[in-house]
Structure 1
Amino acid sequence: MKKCYYFYFLLFFVFGFGQKKSLQTKFTSEMITLDGKLEEDIWQSVPIATDFIMFQPDNGKAVAKNKRTEVRVLYDNEAIYIGALLYDNEPNKILKEINKRDNFGAADFFGVFINGYNDGQQNFQFFVNAADGQADCLETDTNGEDYSWDAVWDSKAVITDFGWAVEMRIPYAALRFSSEKAQTWGVNFFREIRRDREKYSWNFIDSKIGTFTQQNGTLEGIENIKTPARLFLLPYASFYTYANADQKTNSELKRGLDIKYGINDAFTLDAMLIPDFGQTKYDDRILNLSPFEQQFNENRAFFTEGTDLFSKGNLFYSRRIGGPPSYSPELKSNEEIIENPNSVELYNATKISGRTKGGLGIGYLNAVTKKTYATIKNTDTQETTAVLVEPLTNYNIIVFDQRFHKNSSVSFINTNVTRNGSFRDGNVSALVWDLNTTKNTYNLAGNFEYSYVNDIKNKKGGINTTLDFSETTGKYRYSVGANMVTKDFDSNDLGINFETNYYNFYGNSSYRILNPTKFFNSFNTNINAFTQFQKETGKVQGNQINLNVNSTTKKNHYVGFGLQYRSLENYNYYEPRANGRYSIDPKRFGGWLTISSNYNNKFAFDINPYFAILNESGRKSIGIDFSPRYRFDDHFALNYAFNFFKQNNNKGFTDSINEDNNSVTPNIIIYANRNVVTYINTLNGKYSLNSKMNFDISARYYWSYTENKNFLKLGDNGRLIPYNDYTENQNQNLITWNLDVSYNWWFAPGSQLTLLYRSNAAKYDNLINKDFANNYISLLNNKDLNHVISISIKYFIDYNQVKNVF
């Protein structure tokens, strides 16, 4: 009998887990009311997707009967409908924190993953949590989950006496699929029971295989659908009132329109006419002491939503479009700048994206920015002159991405920036590949990129290429790779690239548990090593070996730590800011520790101390990040974060002096021996009336200063020697303040009203006052403290609904 039992268990494991599940759907002409009750008769006439299998923490374990999930699917000519019954033997313990869109919070959730091409490479994911909130994202194995993508769809979740229930209506406009009469979609259903941190899927997701998208089941039965025209309009209007500390106020009314048009079932055109970015999040500025520009996150929806194709090759840094002007005016001794815009205005932007039946993805993005002028004043005559700092500019990207074998792709990308008149133009072309074996055991990835810059007086071309080989399944995994960038590679017209003129080699090895142990729900460790060489001289300009350990305890607390060691001195060719010069960075040893308590608890915290000791007398750094959070109830939560970082005897570039007027390269480069101290205080809070009405507060106070102790001169051998002839005050002190208080109301699908109060101020000088409270008060009394009150309304219009009205 025992042998028979094992035989049936083996059959269940092989056929239940090893094969893709299939679910049959059915056409409905009956109107489905989204109330979470599934009371329409037709719901009872379709097959049920059940027998979910645990994804985490105990991968492969069958779900308990009292936590089972039952899912049904219907469709009509406009949308697909999902009905889910989520059983829970303790419904009063279901976590259901209310949050804004795309934020799960401490709440159970249910999700559906849809791949209209069933090609194993991209999922459209839609989630509903137990508090009736929505989240959606695009997922690829290469880029992970992109929650900046937002679709317009309907859902309803209700708590019941047996657990909770969900009904979803997802229009075809939110999906991509072929035009075949008989459709077969890739599909999976996903559920998290938050209090237990247990995640389940309908089709088994084997954690030994490093892919989600290729482990879907299938949905069959969708036939002869007559999809409606996909034309959506999003008109919006915003009213702003601005005020500063001098009580000067002015108001502004902005109007605009976004258009989304389905060229066919696979391709969509998005157009942004007269854009308004006045309510986007402020950038978190820092005191940047590095030789490279600060990179900012993208907060504008048009440049974040559905841009997975454009991220191929990492050639697209969208903040270039509408960013700061490219040129600074050259001033005479009797001239000064009295106005210089921080950003360039955008005329319009358009993008087209989609994928053919044969797996060819095509992406096209184009944007045009306005001429921008700075105002210069002659201090002798008081006359003002407008100087062009950014000409009329066109930004363009085109991508061709061919998928094959359901797990591999080859892409061609071209980015082009053309500026009107005698200004710099830039063009980059790239071939990118991501190749996987049939069983997803090994991966070969890489790229070959060529840039060409026409700077009128100077034309240059450069190459950036990478090759990476890795094992991607099992408990033990590894990867090795190499990267080479030539001196003249420059993708910075539409991308962002810091270092050039090097080649490097890297590798890593990792181990993870696939099922819980006595002490851990999850555990993984990895060791990484890389060495980078300056391409022309072969000198080592980067090297490090590091060990990281990450774990989740049985009570779902995260604990992790890491150690890093730089065993060789580095030749730093970037810090001197002079061609051919370098300084030497000493050997370094550092480490970090992170503890994050279970966010299910009302009170939780994160703490992360870290340190580094350099092989130089007194040179070291210490820091700590501490973030307590408290959830008062399902509506109200606060999260405070404190960050402190101090560097003692840091050495860095301060100034350069050119004593030889005939030389282009400065012959004296000044470094400072300095202490650098940074404090960051942030407060984030939310009060949610319901899943569609939310109040949010976000405040950030940043203070960082560098206090120079003495100055040094960079020698030709890269060593620093004392230099007492330099006496200028090069201390730096930056204090910034940002506050956003907002109310958001999603009053209809895709339609939103936002009220926003915002204040911000910044102070930068060479005077350091170490009185923390005094700095804060003086900043808020600063004449540059600005206030903005705005109201914005955007309304989603479906052409088909308007057509039906008339």
Structure 2
Amino acid sequence: MKKIIFFGFLLSVLCGYSQNQKKSIQAQVTTHDISIDGKLDEAAWKNVPLATDFIMLEPDNGKAIPYEKRTEVKVVYNNDAIYIGAMMYDNEPSKILKEISQRDNFGTADLFGVFINGFNDGQQDFMFYVSAADVQGDCIMTDANGEDYSWDAVWISKASLAENGWIVEMKIPYSALRFSAENKQTWGINFFREIKRERFKYTWNFVDRKIGTFTQQAGTLEGIENIKPPTRLFFMPYASYYLNASDGQKTYGTIKGGMDIKYGITDAFTIDAILIPDFGQTKYDDQILNLGPFEQQFNENRAFFTEGTDLFSKGNIFYSRRIGGVPSIDPVLNENEEIAELPAAVNLVNALKLSGRTKDGLGIGILNAVTEKTFATIKNTENGETRQVIVEPLTNYNVLVLDQRFRKNSSVTFINTNVTRNGHFRDANVTGLAWDLNTKANTYSLFGNVKYSTINDIEDKNGIFSTVSLAETSGNYRYSVGTDFVSKNFDPNDLGINFYTNYYNIYGNANYRILNPTKRFNSFRIDYEMYSEFNKESGKVQDNKIAAELNLTTVRNNYYGIGFTASPLESHDYYEPRAVNRYVIIPQKIDFWGSISTNYNYKFALDLNPSLSIADERGRAAYGVDIGPRYRFSDKLLLTYTFSFLKRNNNKGFIDSFDDDDNDNTAEIIVFANRDVITYANTISGKYAINSAMTLNLAVRQYWSSAENKDILKLGFDGTLDPYLQYTENKNSSFYSWNADLSYSWWFAPGSQLSALYRNNASNFERIIHKDFKHNVTSLLTNDALKHIFSISVKYFIDYSAVKNKLRKRA
């Protein structure tokens, strides 16, 4: 019996030892032609070493894949590309899920992936996925920022079903990767498989979830030697046609054309340039009724500013929507003048970015963009004369990032953003130093940054922002503590976005999670958080909260979440009054939320998210719900509907301010309203996939929000609100909008796309609130504000080296 125990212990030690050792696979050079057809029947695949013995990532971390679902991967290469061949065995091939979806959106389908780090430094993976429905996906992965699917590479793949599973064949050109110029390459590599019907995820090299890192737990790829990659020069010319129509206005068509260029200076560095930009087919922004003191922040939807920009996110001081955004200068009006025409956005003239990393781990990122001089038209209401005024001069935007990685899991980063406006206009500069330091075993991390802003304007000002946090990043129990300090004049908003200044805070988080499933749960996590924020000058509490939440996934892969956030102290809001050194007192409150998301593997699934907020003030509360049923009719057709409702009773908010002429000190009167705010939103999204390269997509959003003022209040200098009967102006708000997109996308060749889009949209703001829901919808769809746009765009990918080789063969 003792021998059995001893050998059992020895076996467990050896198993644990083998799992934690990095696996290695040998790539084999080939001179044979390989057709990417998902068959693996070429001579190049014969007698190639196998990567096998996959280990579960989720949910039962560390468990070996069953033999009947084994996965076998081969790697070969030549001077053009690296080739991956994978066989995913399945003893129930009829149950393989294979929903067809758009690129980078795998839907409900089995998945295979390869993760490549050409420097083997554990810092950044280039991830390439293929689903069982033959859909591609790719992203850049870092432990700090997660997966960035805005990055798109040009590569070739094919998935096919087999009698005993399914097969993937991939050709990844060296142009899609970054690696050193060494004659003998050693890359970090891992392979991934997800069996969707079970929600089981596996990796070739064991990824231990007790360790707070993913990219540093890859295996190695050896054997790539003496490759001579071709010149990495790519041209992407495009042409677009737009047909615009509005009720009561003349229909007109516009033809646009331009080109994007990518050039690999070295195997590690690439220049991207955009000439004559065209962003006409980007996704619309989900505008809202914004009653708060800050601008609405929008996601970036323009490909140039989303692809491969992980370096530029360091330090969190770059907000790309500033480039080509709304004009920065408000026109000054004389008496009897009004704005006749004000551009909604500034046109981008051109943009360029350089990015890459040396073999020693130094990442360099440079982004530069120029926007054109922009004018508003001012009209004299008495004589009808017009004049032009500058609302944005010719402007240059620049970002510089130097990111030094070391010890495979840490980095120190220098960041600088600069905005220079031509002439006597505001200029801005922000410089930052960021660090992300981790222990060798990835058990603890020290994260932080210091940023310094300089504004050159009518009145120059400088400001500072600093943050530091310490966290335990491994095991079942984890925690973090941190603090921020922000001076009053810190202002990165010319090329960044920041709302809150003039405060310091302290915060902490503790959480517990299971790393392996139980009889009831696949995942289970509890978080507890505390946060306190103080105004730097007065010392008053600006914000405070105690929060706890529970998130879990059952063994049937249904997700449930519940949580609360309590603010046990009164806080002082220095931003809502829109005046220097004024604040309004916010009472204690408690918020509750819940979340349910049923298993998307089923044809019908439901997302449900209720919320409730109760303040320590009579009648001041909010409640809402998001309901999102979805139905997958087939592997080709999916429809999703979401209804959102939120009502805020007795909400207190700013509506106006003016000087008190009756007061000798000309003190400013700040007017608030006690109001009820109601918001409705209906969204419908649909997808019909003709095949893995061709899809029809529908996106419809109807939105209506109103704020009805019940009582007018005056803000006191002590932050309290008192009745103010003298104010009689109507400051009710009602905003409603409609957006509908119907699009067709066809990837007719690698990197080449034809897209057609029909869009109609309208929005309206009123002071009169029509509570008839039907009226608000139909008035948008029938008035002159409704715009119709039809556009068709063709983008073609040209590989200079491929064209040169074809011409050489013909000669």
TM-score by length of structure 1 reads 0.99
Deviation of residue 661 (structure 1)? 9.9
What secondary structure is seen at the aligned counterpart in 2 of 1:627? strand
Code of the aligned partner of 1:81: Y
Please give the alpha-carbon distance, in whole angstroms, between the structure 1 residues aligned to 2:498 and 2:662.
31
Deviation of residue 18 (structure 1)? 1.3
> Identity of aligned pairs, percent?
62
Code of the aligned partner of 1:499: Y
Corresponding position: 1:204 with 2:206? yes
Deviation of residue 775 (structure 1)? 1.1
Deviation of residue 666 (structure 1)? 5.4
Determine the structure 2 residue equivalent to 1:782.
783
Structure 1: segments with no counterpart, 5+ residues: none
Q: For 1:354-410, what per-residue CA distance to the aligned partner results, in whole angstroms no more than 9, with x for missing partners?
A: 000110000000000000000011111111111110000000000000000000000
Code of the aligned partner of 1:736: S
Determine the structure 2 residue equivalent to 1:603.
604
Code of the aligned partner of 2:699: S
Deviation of residue 518 (structure 1)? 1.3
Code of the aligned partner of 1:463: I
Corresponding position: 1:359 with 2:343? no
Q: For 1:611-647, what per-residue CA distance to the aligned partner results, in whole angstroms no more than 9, with x for missing partners?
A: 0000011000000000000000000000000000000
Deviation of residue 8 (structure 1)? 5.0
Please give the alpha-carbon distance, in whole angstroms, between the structure 2 residues aligned to 1:666 and 1:412.
44
Please give the alpha-carbon distance, in whole angstroms, between the structure 2 residues aligned to 1:792 and 1:2.
70
Please give the alpha-carbon distance, in whole angstroms, between the structure 2 residues aligned to 1:678 and 1:645.
5
- Whether the 8 Å CA contact 1:579–1:665 is kept in 2: the answer is no
Corresponding position: 1:269 with 2:271? yes
Deviation of residue 27 (structure 1)? 0.6
Please give the alpha-carbon distance, in whole angstroms, between the structure 1 residues aligned to 2:472 and 2:318.
28
Determine the structure 1 residue equivalent to 2:500.
499
Please give the alpha-carbon distance, in whole angstroms, between the structure 1 residues aligned to 2:392 and 2:662.
30
Please give the alpha-carbon distance, in whole angstroms, between the structure 1 residues aligned to 2:741 and 2:448.
42
What secondary structure is seen at the aligned counterpart in 2 of 1:6? helix
Corresponding position: 1:744 with 2:745? yes
Please give the alpha-carbon distance, in whole angstroms, between the structure 2 residues aligned to 1:764 and 1:20.
60
Determine the structure 1 residue equivalent to 2:31.
29
Q: For 1:516-544, what per-residue CA distance to the aligned partner results, in whole angstroms no more than 9, with x for missing partners?
A: 11110000010011000000011000000
Deviation of residue 12 (structure 1)? 3.7
What secondary structure is seen at the aligned counterpart in 2 of 1:183? coil
Deviation of residue 803 (structure 1)? 1.1
What secondary structure is seen at the aligned counterpart in 1 of 2:223? strand
Determine the structure 2 residue equivalent to 1:297.
299
Determine the structure 1 residue equivalent to 2:379.
377
Code of the aligned partner of 2:785: D
Deviation of residue 37 (structure 1)? 1.1
Please give the alpha-carbon distance, in whole angstroms, between the structure 1 residues aligned to 2:764 and 2:671.
25
Code of the aligned partner of 1:676: V
Please give the alpha-carbon distance, in whole angstroms, between the structure 2 residues aligned to 1:595 and 1:322.
39
Deviation of residue 177 (structure 1)? 0.3
Between 300-309 and 378-387, report the one with greater CA deviation: 378-387
Please give the alpha-carbon distance, in whole angstroms, between the structure 2 residues aligned to 1:22 and 1:285.
50
What secondary structure is seen at the aligned counterpart in 2 of 1:311? helix
- Whether the 8 Å CA contact 1:578–1:665 is kept in 2: the answer is no
Report 1:454-603 matches (<5 A). 454-455=456-457, 457-603=458-604
Please give the alpha-carbon distance, in whole angstroms, between the structure 2 residues aligned to 1:276 and 1:439.
47
RMSD value, Cα: 1.1
Q: For 1:676-706, what per-residue CA distance to the aligned partner results, in whole angstroms no more than 9, with x for missing partners?
A: 0000000000000011000000000000000
Please give the alpha-carbon distance, in whole angstroms, between the structure 1 residues aligned to 2:696 and 2:788.
19
Q: For 1:532-560, what per-residue CA distance to the aligned partner results, in whole angstroms no more than 9, with x for missing partners?
A: 00000110000001001000001000000
Report 1:148-547 matches (<5 A). 148-246=150-248, 248-455=250-457, 457-547=458-548
Deviation of residue 665 (structure 1)? 8.1
- Whether the 8 Å CA contact 1:598–1:604 is kept in 2: the answer is yes
- Whether the 8 Å CA contact 2:508–2:530 is kept in 1: the answer is yes
Deviation of residue 330 (structure 1)? 1.2
Code of the aligned partner of 2:760: S
Code of the aligned partner of 1:620: A
- Whether the 8 Å CA contact 1:238–1:255 is kept in 2: the answer is yes
What secondary structure is seen at the aligned counterpart in 2 of 1:223? coil
Moved over 3 A (4+): 660-666
Between 13-22 and 185-194, report the one with greater CA deviation: 13-22
Report 1:13-52 matches (<5 A). 13-52=15-54
Please give the alpha-carbon distance, in whole angstroms, between the structure 2 residues aligned to 1:272 and 1:165.
37
Deviation of residue 41 (structure 1)? 2.4
Please give the alpha-carbon distance, in whole angstroms, between the structure 2 residues aligned to 1:802 and 1:436.
46
Code of the aligned partner of 1:243: A
- Whether the 8 Å CA contact 1:656–1:666 is kept in 2: the answer is no
> Kindly tell me: are residues 136 and 666 of structure 1, through their superposed partners in 2, closer, same or farther at Cα, counting changes over 3 Å?
farther
- Whether the 8 Å CA contact 2:33–2:44 is kept in 1: the answer is no
Among 127, 131, 134, which residue is 2:136 paired with?
134
- Whether the 8 Å CA contact 1:578–1:666 is kept in 2: the answer is no
Between 331-340 and 541-550, report the one with greater CA deviation: 331-340
Deviation of residue 4 (structure 1)? 5.8
- Whether the 8 Å CA contact 1:124–1:138 is kept in 2: the answer is yes
Corresponding position: 1:645 with 2:677? no
Code of the aligned partner of 1:128: V
Deviation of residue 15 (structure 1)? 3.0
Q: For 1:634-669, what per-residue CA distance to the aligned partner results, in whole angstroms no more than 9, with x for missing partners?
A: 000000000000000000001001124999985210
Deviation of residue 331 (structure 1)? 1.2
Please give the alpha-carbon distance, in whole angstroms, between the structure 2 residues aligned to 1:664 and 1:645.
42
Please give the alpha-carbon distance, in whole angstroms, between the structure 2 residues aligned to 1:171 and 1:629.
38
Please give the alpha-carbon distance, in whole angstroms, between the structure 1 residues aligned to 2:439 and 2:365.
26
Determine the structure 2 residue equivalent to 1:56.
58
- Whether the 8 Å CA contact 2:32–2:43 is kept in 1: the answer is no
What secondary structure is seen at the aligned counterpart in 2 of 1:641? strand
Please give the alpha-carbon distance, in whole angstroms, between the structure 2 residues aligned to 1:804 and 1:228.
10
Determine the structure 2 residue equivalent to 1:116.
118
Q: How many residues align?
A: 805
Determine the structure 1 residue equivalent to 2:627.
626
What secondary structure is seen at the aligned counterpart in 1 of 2:728? coil
TM-score by length of structure 2 reads 0.98
- Whether the 8 Å CA contact 2:151–2:306 is kept in 1: the answer is yes
Please give the alpha-carbon distance, in whole angstroms, between the structure 2 residues aligned to 1:296 and 1:571.
27
Corresponding position: 1:797 with 2:798? yes
- Whether the 8 Å CA contact 1:242–1:788 is kept in 2: the answer is yes
- Whether the 8 Å CA contact 1:236–1:255 is kept in 2: the answer is yes
Deviation of residue 247 (structure 1)? 5.0
- Whether the 8 Å CA contact 2:65–2:202 is kept in 1: the answer is yes
Please give the alpha-carbon distance, in whole angstroms, between the structure 2 residues aligned to 1:132 and 1:733.
46
Please give the alpha-carbon distance, in whole angstroms, between the structure 2 residues aligned to 1:283 and 1:556.
32
What secondary structure is seen at the aligned counterpart in 2 of 1:15? helix
What secondary structure is seen at the aligned counterpart in 2 of 1:776? helix
What secondary structure is seen at the aligned counterpart in 2 of 1:313? helix
Code of the aligned partner of 2:382: D
> Kindly tell me: are residues 107 and 493 of structure 1, through their superposed partners in 2, closer, same or farther at Cα, counting changes over 3 Å?
same
Between 500-509 and 662-671, report the one with greater CA deviation: 662-671
Deviation of residue 805 (structure 1)? 3.1
Please give the alpha-carbon distance, in whole angstroms, between the structure 2 residues aligned to 1:440 and 1:102.
30
Code of the aligned partner of 1:107: A
Code of the aligned partner of 1:473: S
Please give the alpha-carbon distance, in whole angstroms, between the structure 1 residues aligned to 2:548 and 2:712.
36
What secondary structure is seen at the aligned counterpart in 2 of 1:227? coil
Please give the alpha-carbon distance, in whole angstroms, between the structure 1 residues aligned to 2:187 and 2:10.
30
Code of the aligned partner of 1:83: G
